[in-house]
Structure 1
Amino acid sequence: MIRTNTSRTWIASDAWSISRPLASMEGINEVGDIFGFTFITGENPGFEDYLQKLRPGTGAVNHFIQEYKQLRFSCTPELLQHRECLDNKPAELCPIPDSLMFKSPEACSLPDPQLADDDFLLLEELKKVNFNVDNGTNEFYFDDSGNFVTGYDLIMWVKARDQREFITVGRYSLKEGEVELSEDRLQWINSNGTVPQSRCSERCAAGTVKKVSNISCCYNCTECEEGAYTDDWNQHDCKKCPNGTWSLRGWNHCEERTKTFQRWKEPYAIALVTAAGLGILLLLSILILFLVHRKTPMVKIAGGKLCYVMIVGLSVSFGSVVLFVGKPNDHLCQARQVMYGLGFTLCVSCILVRAFRTFLAFLFDLNRQHELKKLYKPLAIVLLVTAVQGLICTFWLIFDSPKVNYFDQGMEKWLQCTEGTSIGFSIMLSYISLLAFVCFLLAFKGRKVPQDFNETGNIIFGMLIYLFVWVCFIPLYINRNKLNERSIVQASTILASNYGIIFCHFLPKCYIVLCRKKENVREEIERKLRIFSITSAGVLDITSMDSGVIRVLGENSVEAGSVFQEETVLLETSVVSSGLGQSICSVANLSNFSEGEATSPRLRERRKGRMRSSSF
């Protein structure tokens, strides 16, 4: 250490704590402060003078060791002579002295009494030692194991020119386990005489524990994990929080978790409720607009009374979003899922009717069209499709319905709805997705029909938006560790689905009704029909159009088989190539596919004629 100029604070054991050779070593003052422990010493009056004045006489031999042996092992001169006789003569020639009474015969029988194996005798004698020095201030004694229990002196090596001297600066009491330090006697080596930093690591505060590092006697302070704590300095282990309490990382205490839920004043809740409210308000405005213009062609093309059913279904779906906010209970948890399932299914079932109707109206094969027309029962389709969803929700509620559960998240105990079994929840969503996919396929089949006379484009985009939104919903929902975020994800997905239907199905019609009123009259529809007919087949006779299609437009008196049947004129244009390459265009009014036939015999006869013409 002297060669490397390493300065440290040293703690010496009693083996070298008062070593004079070390204290006088060259460069000893460069190694830093040195402390040491040594057995407590005291003054025995007169003993030091005795040792100093003890001198052997001229030509005399120091019998100090010999006397020690005699006192220690009771080896008298007679016994030593007897032992010497036994070594040189037979035993019968060596009489036994009368003083053959001693504590340790083995010691006197050995050439060197110090090699005697009788340490136990010394231990027994040490247990009896008890004396005082320094006028009774220091007591010296040994415990039952022979250990010195009085304590140790704390020695400090202080500078004395180019070497060190020993001074006592404190005392360690074994009995009390305490160190008494005389700070006024400390003489530090550093230039300013201040106390050096005696540890390589700072104390670990409450909330942290000691983690031993790769440096001896050093450690790092590591924060306790969540659910554990320490409430004092320099702890080695974290304590677990009692039942019902929790702590965050690095806490020095545990607290009760706060019960919470999606409150109305939170930003997400405000956004969800606002979006749902705007959606319902928008639907109400559309409903009023359609009722006011219910007799116009554009409202009839939009679906007529089916639109009102769609608006009701979407309103119920928007209402389910509101139930995702506020303090939940079992009934609200069940109601919000059922409301969405039934409400949106009702809306999609109406779209399915419209897609099926458009598919039939523009089906080129009239024979197949006639067969499929038998399946076109709007009321039955809507009721049946919605009833199936009702059965799914019923079985879900019976076997494992949504309910309220508590979930611990940090210092919060969330009151949250769970969907119960994931099977019921998945079947409900899958059923709606299946209906949307069927609507998409039916609309896709009729995508080539001119935009002025069909709804396929609106249906295709509306269903694509729904399918895309819910496909994105699945990974987002599954990957949400916090259940309150799952509720937000589902509510947001419902809003996106509802607005997709509104934007694709209702707003375009509202735009025409409000901003392009000239296109929302019978004459404009007839004009576009003429243009479409002429464009489709150049051989088409305008006169026949006027006498055929136009006349049908004025005479579409159809027997109403249900509340969903409208007076909407649906057109089918089929271009059939004959063997000579001649194009024939037939424009047919398929009316509303009523369960009965047209009340007008002339209309019925005209329909038969169209079918014959088509087969030709």
Structure 2
Amino acid sequence: MLGGLWDILGGEINARPDLLPNITLGYQIYDTCTVLRRAAEGTMWMLSGGSESIPNYRCYGPSRLAGIIGDSGSTRSILMYSQFVHVIFSLKVSYFSTSPFLSNRNLFPSFFRTIPSDEFQSRGLAQLVKYFGWSWVGLLATDNDYGQIGIQVVKQEIIMSGACVAFAENILTSLLNRNAPHIVQVINKSTVNVVVVLSSDSDFMPVVEELLKQNVTGKIWVASESWSTSALLSKDRFKKILVGTIGFAIHGGQMPGFREYLSSLHPSKHLNNPFAKEFWEQIFSCKWNEEEANATNQRCTGRESLESFIKKADFRITFNVYTCVYTLAWALQSLLQCKPGEGPFQHGGCANISSFQPWQASHKQYPALFPIRGLHLILLADVTVNLLCCMLMGSLLLINQFYFTQVPYSRCNPSCPSGFQKVTIPGKPFCCYECNLCPQGEISNQTDAVECDQCSWDMWPNEVQDRCLPRTIEFLSYTDPMGVSLATIAIISSTIPICIMLVFFCHRTTPIVKANNWSLSCLLLVSLSFCFLCALVFIGYPRPEMCLLRQVGFGMVFSLSISCVLAKTIIVVIAFKATKPGTRLRKWSGIKVSYSVMGFCVLIQLCVCVTWLSFSPPFPELDIRSQSGVIIIICNENSPTAFWCMVGYLGLLAALSFIVAFLARRLPDSFNEAKFITFSMLAFLSVWVSFVPAYLSARGKNTVAMEIFAIISSSWAVVICIFFPKCFIILFRPNMNSREQLMKKDKRSQRGSRWIRSVHARAAPIDRSAQALQNIRT
């Protein structure tokens, strides 16, 4: 086939008047058979004049050897150039030697090629891996210059792009089977779905055979230009192994008259062309020699047709040879067109076309005469994809269009979905990772996120943690069902003490009302009404002024009410003690003592509250930590110590009232409030003791609701235990609201009374009761 190409090119170039006029371009062909020894022999054969291979002998004959085109392999080209060529003739142009080593102008000053260096292709392969998002790939390369230099560049570029190499295996060309079983075993054990192969088709063939033998399918093969368009690997039996293989192919083009020449090619018409028979045998897998044909049962008949072959054949390498010939021709044309005085050499000199020196033909004057063709990205099995990869002058991978319906997948781990982040696994490559859910309050809105992003303070992740949503604002408002219910209960409850006071006022002349210290009772009822109403301050948006008023108002009104209860209890005890003959307690049973006790107790609470507001006042706060996805607007007490001192003081007052009332519980029952105060303070303390753990465990608006509930419950405890029994007698048992009934002694209390020692002593408690009643009234 190449012989025919040379025939066509020789006639085409020699017939052109604009290219080497009056100069005939000839050629000699030598087949190296991809063997280093034959490459060396062929070089010496051409340099010796074409008759024998004689070292250190040069015979030009009637015409000068202008250059050599070849070899196809980088290793053979390096051998040919470094051993012989650079000292004898000017140019060497290769159509398939891709080693980056040959780009060294110091070592190979007159070497050129019409195919990109492996360095460009290797970078392109790495960029292809990056483009498809393949982060977990395997590498295969032959153990020669082509494979080893290429695999180093590919591996480096893949790692720099953020991907990982699962394995890098060498195809051993010294072994007949190319260590195929070991390579296939490595591929089977690995989880990679994409394998990059830098090899020739002949070296990769044993590996493909082993893959077929072990039925290894489903892999995506990324091919270098050496085998991407191989007819050897495009056979139908390899289709299930290699179909869909993607790779680079060298640039192709039209060669005028070449297909017509192949159509007319027949060994009988080219008896003097030794390549014609060899070409025929290779295409049709037959033998002209009878002995060889009998051994293989395949004899060439000469009636085989080339039409199907020509339609399917890929002439990219042939076109590269075509380009090489024209490269040499135009280089010689440049020498021919040089004008004395305008040349590139000393004093504007020119080279003689018939006796030029090697350095003259490779002068920097002619860089454009040796173009680097681009590479096309293709799919194996005659399917060309509409994707163009141009690496002219070393530019990056340029992708125009691609029509994959689904990108093949190759990762060490499945992609981490939105809402997760990648976490590296110790001891494994960084491409192998675990997918962990983003921490609370953080999101990731893309796959394979390296880290999660924090939502802004006023936003919160949704359930799948892939986007931030506005936080719900929460506080106990008047539009909230719980807030409405508590506010309604507080308002209705606040009217009960006022109603009781009206009942007392209407029956102010009755003995029960007179016996209960009218002024203290009214003050206690008013304070209890305010206790109910102070719950309303806790409902609504926590403004700064409301935060200042909430706890302080609650502490002050409750101090007033408990102080009234304590004063009532003390007055009852003093009144009874003052009835003893000769006692000095009578002067302490007046109203001034009760007001003094009450004022002193309230003053202490006032000092606590003023100190709190002066040094560490409460303030509104936005709490975003207590409850996920919610902004809780609360009043921060600022000083928990001050808050608990205020509440603790209320507990202390209630405890004192309880103790005093408990000690006075055995006074005559008819008018004694001590028992009722004892029960009220017991209920009051029970409510607030239960409040402490509930308050500390509640969150958000429930904290405020718990405090409001404690305020209302404890207030009701005092109202019910102290005032409801008296109201019941006044409204429903008026016959008991008389002086005689009031002075009557309860038999049950009589049994345990220390005062009754004898019959004579029975009248004494009645007289003392009357006196105590008079003391309470005054």
TM-score, normalization by structure 2: 0.50
> How far off its partner does 1:501 sit?
1.1
Quick one: distance in 2 between partners of 1:363 and 1:446?
A: 11
Instruction: Please tell me whether residue 23 in structure 1 is matched to residue 240 in structure 2.
Output: no
| Alignment map for 1:91-110 (pairs within 5 Å) | none
**Aligned with 1:524 (options 738, 741, 749):** 741
Change (3 A) 1:218 1:478: same
**Aligned with 2:222 (options 31, 36, 49):** 36
> How far off its partner does 1:494 sit?
1.5
Instruction: Please tell me whether residue 298 in structure 1 is matched to residue 506 in structure 2.
Output: no
SS at match of 1:176: coil
| Alignment map for 1:215-614 (pairs within 5 Å) | 224-225=438-439, 228-241=442-455, 245-249=458-462, 250=464, 252-254=466-468, 261-360=475-574, 370=584, 374=588, 377-408=593-624, 413-449=631-667, 451-480=669-698, 482=700, 484-528=701-745, 536=753, 540-541=758-759, 569=773, 591-592=775-776
> How far off its partner does 1:384 sit?
2.0
**Aligned with 1:176 (options 397, 402, 407):** 397
Change (3 A) 1:373 1:248: farther
> How far off its partner does 1:266 sit?
0.5
SS at match of 1:36: strand
Q: Counterpart of 1:14 in structure 2: which amino acid? A: V
SS at match of 1:13: strand
Quick one: distance in 2 between partners of 1:368 and 1:172?
A: 122
* Residues matched between the structures, number: 462
> How far off its partner does 1:348 sit?
0.9
Change (3 A) 1:34 1:295: same
Quick one: distance in 2 between partners of 1:233 and 1:169?
A: 28
Q: Counterpart of 2:598 in structure 1: which amino acid? A: V
> How far off its partner does 1:454 sit?
2.8
Does structure 2 retain, via aligned residues, the 8 Å contact 1:208–1:235?
yes
Does structure 1 retain, via aligned residues, the 8 Å contact 2:577–2:585?
no
SS at match of 1:265: coil
For structure 1, which segment, 287-296 or 411-420, has the greater mean C-alpha deviation from structure 2 after superposition?
Answer: 411-420
> How far off its partner does 1:352 sit?
0.9
> How far off its partner does 1:240 sit?
3.8
SS at match of 1:237: coil
Q: Counterpart of 1:395 in structure 2: which amino acid? A: T
Change (3 A) 1:432 1:552: closer
1:63-84 superposed Cα distances (whole Å, 9 cap, x missing partner): xxxxxxxxxxxxxxxxxxxxxx
SS at match of 1:313: helix
Quick one: distance in 2 between partners of 1:354 and 1:328?
A: 37
1:238-267 superposed Cα distances (whole Å, 9 cap, x missing partner): 33446x653324455556667664320102
Aligned to 1:11: 194
Quick one: distance in 2 between partners of 1:372 and 1:248?
A: 73
> How far off its partner does 1:381 sit?
1.2
Q: Counterpart of 2:205 in structure 1: which amino acid? A: R
Quick one: distance in 1 between partners of 2:586 and 2:641?
A: 34
SS at match of 1:24: helix
Does structure 1 retain, via aligned residues, the 8 Å contact 2:511–2:738?
yes
Change (3 A) 1:128 1:476: farther
1:472-508 superposed Cα distances (whole Å, 9 cap, x missing partner): 33333344454x4433332222122212212221223
- Flag structure 2 segments of 5+ consecutive residues without an equivalent: 1-183, 226-248, 263-272, 279-356
Report the identity percentage.
24
Q: Counterpart of 1:432 in structure 2: which amino acid? A: L
For structure 1, which segment, 472-481 or 45-54, has the greater mean C-alpha deviation from structure 2 after superposition?
Answer: 45-54
Q: Counterpart of 1:492 in structure 2: which amino acid? A: F
1:86-126 superposed Cα distances (whole Å, 9 cap, x missing partner): xxxxxxxxxxxxxxx999xxxxxxxxxxxxxxxxxxxx99x
SS at match of 2:638: coil
> How far off its partner does 1:311 sit?
0.9
Aligned to 2:6: none
1:213-256 superposed Cα distances (whole Å, 9 cap, x missing partner): 799867666554555444545543333446x6533244555566
| Alignment map for 1:205-220 (pairs within 5 Å) | 208-211=420-423
Aligned to 2:241: none
SS at match of 2:194: strand
Q: Counterpart of 2:196 in structure 1: which amino acid? A: S
SS at match of 1:353: helix
> How far off its partner does 1:322 sit?
0.3
Superposed CA RMSD: 4.8
Quick one: distance in 2 between partners of 1:355 and 1:368?
A: 23
Does structure 2 retain, via aligned residues, the 8 Å contact 1:320–1:335?
no
Change (3 A) 1:495 1:384: same
SS at match of 2:620: strand
Q: Counterpart of 1:592 in structure 2: which amino acid? A: I
Change (3 A) 1:408 1:386: same
1:150-202 superposed Cα distances (whole Å, 9 cap, x missing partner): 5575555x7xxxxxxx9776867362354965769xxxxxxxxx998767877
> How far off its partner does 1:444 sit?
2.5
> How far off its partner does 1:341 sit?
1.7
Q: Counterpart of 2:194 in structure 1: which amino acid? A: I
Q: Counterpart of 2:207 in structure 1: which amino acid? A: L
Quick one: distance in 1 between partners of 2:529 and 2:651?
A: 19
Quick one: distance in 1 between partners of 2:186 and 2:769?
A: 115
For structure 1, which segment, 3-12 or 418-427, has the greater mean C-alpha deviation from structure 2 after superposition?
Answer: 3-12
Quick one: distance in 2 between partners of 1:3 and 1:534?
A: 103
> How far off its partner does 1:282 sit?
1.9
Q: Counterpart of 1:387 in structure 2: which amino acid? A: L
Change (3 A) 1:131 1:208: farther
Does structure 1 retain, via aligned residues, the 8 Å contact 2:418–2:465?
yes
Change (3 A) 1:369 1:52: farther
> How far off its partner does 1:43 sit?
5.6
Quick one: distance in 1 between partners of 2:419 and 2:223?
A: 36
TM-score, normalization by structure 1: 0.61
Change (3 A) 1:238 1:301: same
SS at match of 2:250: coil
> How far off its partner does 1:540 sit?
3.9
Quick one: distance in 2 between partners of 1:10 and 1:51?
A: 45
| Alignment map for 1:137-152 (pairs within 5 Å) | 139-140=372-373, 150=374
Change (3 A) 1:232 1:443: same
